[in-house]
Amino acid sequence: MDQIIIIFIAGFLSLVIGCVIGYYVRQSIAKQRAGSLEAKLQKKVLQVKEETTELIKKSEAKASDIIEKAQKDTDERRREFLKAQQVLLDREKLLETKVETFDKKETELQDKTEKLKSTKDELDKLRTEAEIKLEKVASLSREDAKKELLTLVEIDSQKDILERIKKMEESGKDTLDIKRQKY
């Protein structure tokens, strides 16, 4: 019976020692697996960080491209606007110049018309003086002197004066008509 107890104690001790050794082996394997799992997690974290960094870089590049394109579009529109504005300013300036030229020509035409009237008045005055002189010199009646003077003046100058007046009026009317049609 002693032997059974010794076998029983030896078996019990073997069981306890086996449990203790099994426990430590199990702990060792668990630590190795935990280290392996931790390494996998760290690797996964690094991979996610790299992917995130890559996505951020791509997003920044894309945003930069969009901003650059928008800036180019804005600059192009600004250039087109300034060009259109310059065209309008040039047209306005041209129109102002034409209006000034038109006003100037109209004033010149009025001045020429006044000069023609003045010249006509002077011619009438000279004709009257010539009639008086002819009456005195030729002892002609006033009517005869008048007829003689009218004949001389009309032959020499009336054609020229009338032609000038007509030309100036036609030129002025044509110029005014052309300008009015333009505006």
Task: Write the pLDDT tens digit of every residue in 100-121.
Answer: 988 888 888 888 888 888 888 8
pLDDT greater than 70 at residue 79: yes
Other CB atoms within 10 A of residue 145 CB: 20
**Could you tell me if 141 and 155 are in contact, meaning their C-beta atoms sit under 8 angstroms apart?**
no
C-alpha distance from residue 68 to each of 58, 61, 72, 81 (Å): 15, 10, 6, 20
Residue 130 has pLDDT above 80, yes or no: no
User: What's the pLDDT score for residue 76?
Assistant: 96
pLDDT band at 40 (very low <50, low <70, confident <90, very high): confident
- The pLDDT of residue 116: 82
In the predicted structure, residue 31 carries a pLDDT above the cut 80 = no
Distance of alpha carbon 173 from alpha carbon 146, whole angstroms: 35
Q: In whole angstroms, give the CA distance from residue 98 to residue 96.
A: 5
Q: Is the dihedral of CA 117, 119, 121, 123 positive or negative?
A: negative
**Is the pLDDT confidence value at 36 over 80?**
no
Residue 146: Cβ-neighbour burial (10 angstroms; 0-12, 13-18, 19+): middle
Percent of the chain with pLDDT over 70: 88
Token pair listed for 119: 């010249």
* Placement of tokens 């102002």 in the chain: 96
Average pLDDT of the chain?
Answer: 83
DSSP label of 163: H
Q: Give the pLDDT confidence score for residue 183 in this predicted structure.
A: 61
Are 110 and 117 in contact by the 8 Å Cβ rule? The answer is no
Query: Which of 57-61, 113-117, 121-125, 153-157 is predicted least confidently?
Result: 153-157
| Residue 1, helix vs strand vs coil | coil
